[in-house]
Amino acid sequence: RRQLGAAIAGRSRRGPVAILRPDRHGVLAGRLPGGLRVLVDLDRRIPMASGWLMWPGGLRREDARAHGANAMMATLLTRGCAAIGGDELAAEIEGQAAVLDGFSSRNAAGLHLECMAASLPGVLRRAVECAQAPRFEPEELDEERRVALQELHAEQDEPAKLAFLHAWSRLYRGHPFRLRRHGSEASLARLSSAGLRRTWARWYPLGRAVLAVSGDVDVDGLLGVLDGLLPEDEPPAAPAWPGGVPRYPERSVELRVHQDREQAHLVVALPGLPFTDPRTAALDVLLAVLGGQAGRLFLALREAEGLVYHVSASSTEGVDAGDITFYAASSPERMPRAREVLEQELWRIQAEPVGEEELDRAKALLVGQHAMGLERHGRRSSLLAFHESFGLPRHEHLRYRTRVERVGARALRSLARELLDPRRRVISLVGP
């Protein structure tokens, strides 16, 4: 096909706006005037498209005074911009059976869109307009602040969430990941409409963004939409990340929150890996062995002794830090035994090599889940945008199966000994 076999050049009154060249995997890529980077993953099987307009940022960009700003901006981002009001925009997007939302995570922020292929030019235009000149209306801000404060107060009735928040606040000392993503009473009170507009313009100029689109895309039409919306000048350099690497605990810490509940909630948190670490695939395998649907923790704590209502193992990787968390919900009288069994399983995976059959089963689970995810336009475009935003290999996700299958029992045991060190654990317990 023409759009895969040659470079695609769009033109405007100012001359060529872009040359998108296919890379070795067929993804069209280029950098537009003003700095915006564009990636297009063509897939004509279904007349739909998904896209992500993404910047490095999110919670990692915040400090104690500003935390909650990204979550608030993500909520308000599609509530109106200089070109169109919020109600009109909502009706327009809904009328096209499309989705256009802001998002904010630990490491990134931006907009996400899903639509029929024929609607892509219009939906993309609105996304870029929202990114360039969001209104952040005072009335909308006041309403969302009220909702955010209600949710903050309601967290006292969510013991599982409290257990995680307390664990992260102690694990990530001196680092933004210790902060509550939706802010505190004090930080929410400091947010203003004008301040949010200044913050957005400083942190997220269009020229520092990556736009990745996957699906049935008219590339010439996409470039035509961007014509006239592009900034004239290159953006200034991104502000430095606040804070430094976390001050992880050097000895085990236990936190207790006493609540009169019928359940007890336990979180064990440990330092993990940044997403740039080459061992992230091995960590996935480790957690699949422990926390998979037929993993060791489920079999030992639920099937064998019926000690817990729920048990899980997970990890989160950030730009410069990460964590591993184990969670269990149990009755108060059974929690001591549940903790004992959890400790035994964390010790056992460090002391004994994982058997070949168990290792193969964990790998098959990961590879299968990953392959199913790549069938979705939204998943492929989000991975392309994320990798490009952080300077990672663009098609790192295509190597995932190989990386997982190369993980051996010896490497897994070595990683477990390093990362599951009991001296670095933060234990958070909420319950009677």
Judged against a pLDDT cut of 60, whether residue 12 lies above it is answered with no
If you search the block for the tokens 């005037």, which residue do you land on?
33
Q: What is the pLDDT of residue 2?
A: 41
Are 281 and 329 a contacting pair, CB within 8 Å?
no
For the chain, the 3-state helix, strand and coil shares in percent, each to the nearest 5, are 45, 20, 30
Q: Which residues contact 347 (CB under 8 A, 6 or more apart)?
A: none
Q: Considering the chain, what percentage of its residues have pLDDT values greater than 70?
A: 96
Arithmetic mean of pLDDT, 196-212: 96
* 255 pLDDT tier (thresholds 50, 70, 90): very high
Q: Is the per-residue pLDDT at 5 higher than 60?
A: no
3-state secondary structure 172-217: CCCCHHHCCCCCCHHHHHHCCHHHHHHHHHHHCCHHHCEEEEEECC
Torsion sign, CA atoms 208, 213, 218, 219 = positive
What are the phi and psi torsion angles at 62 (to 5°)? -100, 165
For residue 244, what pLDDT band results from cuts at 50, 70 and 90? confident
Task: Give the range among 188-197, 209-218, 229-238, 260-269 with minimum mean pLDDT.
Answer: 229-238
Distances (CA, A) of 360 to 141, 315, 344, 355: 50, 20, 23, 9
The CA-based diameter of the chain, rounded to the nearest angstrom, is 74
Predicted confidence band of residue 230 (pLDDT cuts 50, 70, 90):
confident
Give DSSP secondary structure letters for 307-368. Answer: --SEEEEEEEE-SS-EEEEEEEEE-TTTHHHHHHHHHHHHHHHHHSPPPHHHHHHHHHHHHH
- Gap between the Cα atoms of 10 and 329, Å rounded: 56
| Tens of pLDDT, residues 309-358 | 999 999 999 999 999 999 999 999 999 999 999 999 999 999 999 999 99
**Is the per-residue pLDDT at 17 higher than 70?**
no
Residue 243: the pLDDT is 74
Q: For residues 306 and 426, what is the distance between their CA atoms, to the nearest angstrom?
A: 25
User: How many residues belong to the chain?
Assistant: 432
What's the pLDDT at 242?
Answer: 81
Question: With bands split at pLDDT 50, 70 and 90, how would you rate the model's confidence at 154?
Answer: very high
pLDDT (average), residues 195-216: 96
pLDDT cut 90: percent of the chain above it: 85
Q: What would the pLDDT profile of 42-51 be if each residue is shown by its tens digit? A: 999 999 999 9
| Residue 16 pLDDT class (50, 70, 90 cuts) | very low
Residues 376 and 366: their CA atoms lie apart, in Å, by: 16
Q: What are phi and psi of 210, to 5 degrees?
A: -120, 130
The whole-angstrom separation of Cα 354 and Cα 288 is 12
Nearest CA among 177, 158, 149 for reference residue 61: 177
DSSP state letter for 408? -
Query: Range with the lowest mean pLDDT among 17-21, 90-94, 105-109, 176-180?
Result: 17-21
Q: Which two tokens stand for residue 306?
A: 């019926």
- For range 207-223, the mean pLDDT: 96
Q: What is the pTM of this model?
A: 0.91
Q: pLDDT averaged over the chain?
A: 92
Q: What is the mean pLDDT of residues 110-124?
A: 97
Tokens of 189: 């009170």
- 204 vs 14, which has greater pLDDT? 204
Q: What domains can you pick out in the chain, each with its CATH number?
A: 2-226 (3.30.830.10), 253-431 (3.30.830.10)
If you ran DSSP here, which 8-state letter would residue 82 be given? T
Phi-psi map region of 206: left, alpha, beta (phi>0 left; psi -120 to 50 alpha): alpha
What is the sign, positive or negative, of the torsion defined by CA atoms of 142, 144, 148, 153? positive
Residue 355, token pair as written in the block? 């058997």
Structure tokens belonging to residue 169: 């606040």
What is the pLDDT, as a whole number, of residue 142?
97
Q: pLDDT for 348-399, tens place per residue?
A: 999 999 999 999 999 999 999 999 999 999 999 999 999 999 999 999 999 9
Looking at residue 406, its pLDDT comes to 96
